[in-house]
Amino acid sequence: MNKRTYNILFHTHTVSGIVISVALYVIFFAGSFAFFRDEINSWQHNHKVTTIDELPADLDVHLKQLSKEYNLFGRDIELRHNYNERNIGVSLGASKDSLATEKDKETAFLHLDTENGQTSTYTESYALGEFLYRLHFFAQIPYPVGYYLSGFVALFFLFAIITGIIVHWNKIVSNFYVFRPWAKIKTLWTDAHTALGVIGLPFQFVYAVTGAFFMIKGLLVIPLLLGIYDGDQTKLYEDLEYTHPEFEFHQSELKSDLSIDQFVEDTKTQWPDFKITEAHIFNYGDDNMHVALSGNMAYDSKFNGIGYRIYKIIDGSIYEEKNPTLSTSYLDGVKNMMFRLHFGDYAGYGLRVISFVLGLISCLVILSGIMIWLTARNKNHIPEKQRRFNQKVANIYMAICLSMFPVTAIEFIIVKFFPLANMTFIYRTYFVLWLLASIFFILKKNIQFTNKWTLISGGMLALSIPFVNGAVSGKWFWLIHENGYRQMFVIDMLWLVLGLISLWVVFFKLGKGKIQPISG
């Protein structure tokens, strides 16, 4: 590679990286916790979850519970296992009954607690796990701005990865084994950036590709929509299998017993290891009522085993099915693969813990990139005014990024005292605390101070979280795993380990001068 090409790629790598650094840090930091979204929600609400990766049993009971609040006749109803929580998602379509009241013609989306039968709106059931999950793709910014912003950040991150590989290709292996903690500061940060970047490279590449795909796929399909489908969005969704069939409403009540559970049992009997994640009921209570049971094979049985079966309720016949035990179509394979790679939920807690660690390593790569950018521009030949500007930029970046750790930790403590905290409460506490912490560290104008005290405060708060949980809920981490509160145990252990590592770094690494951020 000639020098001119190298310089172009090097500078584009640097510029693209520094421009997206703060947004990318937020994505990876919040995204790391998003791997444990369900566990965080259950930890906040003191819930024990017994049914994993599929709808709970007794769908008939849940429908009976819904019928106490809503007239279900003539509606299309969807019961969906979105996450491993006690709540399931419920979508109620407008009643097709010609005699339906105006209230019955209203649609509704709600959450149903499968333990006590209580229903709640999305905002009422909103919890910290959902907040961190949605923060990692900026969903708090009004749609579609936040989605597209995170998508383009992922796209530029992919560009930064590719240019970084090209720039460092000749020395990427040799530099991986080099770490010089006693060398000058730029060398130290460069070694850390290279070594950690190589460790997390496959992980970062996967998440750059899948993140960009999920967030900006709406823009990517526009040429396809206009070129092949002539703007017919419905036809496009049908071909992508994102729609359900439609069944005529007969305006005649079903005389036989309404039972969904028997069809669930029949499906699971014929397809062992099949996890039913969605039950879509068409024309509830009508003699042309159908039910579609959709899901996938257990991942240890078949990774891409997507299937469904549609029953006609009046006679129990099978209207249509896709057998998950047979070969998977290319479309299903691609769709499922993208989701599974991004969520990392196909190999249990082991994969999610590894993904969590790699996500935090990616955060360190971003921080080291900021420090490399700053130290490379903190030389005597650069005008003093420009150096001060660069230091201010780096100081702001580091304050915003590093303060996320203690703020997230203290938010866990807050919601433990307010387990029913809703969306508004979490927004106000988290973002206000983050703003105040960022302003405080920005005004200190010292990156070393920011680094040290975010680790100390975050580490101490992290260590206190399991004990706060025990004191408030009575579920101490050395007891709850044996009592079936596995999700709560995971979160307690996660924070306990994070706290110990943070304080170890402060007192045994920073204190000995092995990692010394420069002042800003």
Task: Identify which of 262, 273, 282, 281 has the alpha carbon closest to the alpha carbon of residue 307.
Answer: 273
Q: How far is CA 287 from CA 184, 205, 266, 282, in A?
A: 78, 51, 21, 10
- Other C-beta atoms closer than 10 Å to the C-beta of 272 total 10
> What does the pLDDT read at residue 282?
97
460: tokens are: 């101490």
pLDDT at 477 over 80: yes
Distance, in Å, from the CA atom of 241 to the CA atom of 223, rounded to the nearest integer, reads 19
> Which structure tokens are listed for 193?
């950036």
Give the mean model confidence (pLDDT) for residues 103-132. 94
Q: Rounded distance, CA 517 to CA 10, Å?
A: 23
pTM here is 0.91
pLDDT at 371 over 60: yes
Q: Which residues pair with 322 in a beta bridge?
A: 308
Confidence check: pLDDT of 517 > 50: no
Strand partners, 113: 87
Q: What is the mean pLDDT of residues 330-336?
A: 86
Span 269-316, pLDDT tens digits: 999 999 999 999 999 999 999 999 999 999 988 988 999 999 999 999
Task: Please tell me the distance from the alpha carbon of residue 488 to that of residue 240, in angstroms, as a whole number.
Answer: 38
Return the pLDDT at 189. Answer: 63
pLDDT at 171: 64
374-405 pLDDT, tens digit per residue, is 888 888 888 889 989 999 999 999 999 999 99
Q: What are 198-250's pLDDT values in tens digits?
A: 778 889 999 999 999 899 987 877 777 777 777 777 887 787 788 889 999 99
For 71-83, the pLDDT digits (tens) are 999 999 999 998 9
Dist CA 174 CA 308 (whole Å): 51
Q: What is the pLDDT of residue 391?
A: 93
Mean pLDDT, rounded, for 332-338:
87
Q: pLDDT tens, 405-425? A: 999 999 999 999 998 899 999
Report the amino acid identity of residue 97: D
Read off the pLDDT band of 14 (50, 70, 90): confident
Residue with tokens 């994640």: 277
Residue 286 is classified by DSSP as B
Q: Kindly state the average pLDDT of the residues 433-447.
A: 96
Structure tokens at 85: 């929580």
For the chain, what is the mean pLDDT?
89
Cα 92 from chain centroid (whole Å): 26
CB 401 within 8 A of CB 367: yes
Amino acid at the residue 137: F
H or E stretch including 275?
A: strand 274-282
pLDDT tens by residue, 160-186: 898 888 877 766 666 555 555 555 555
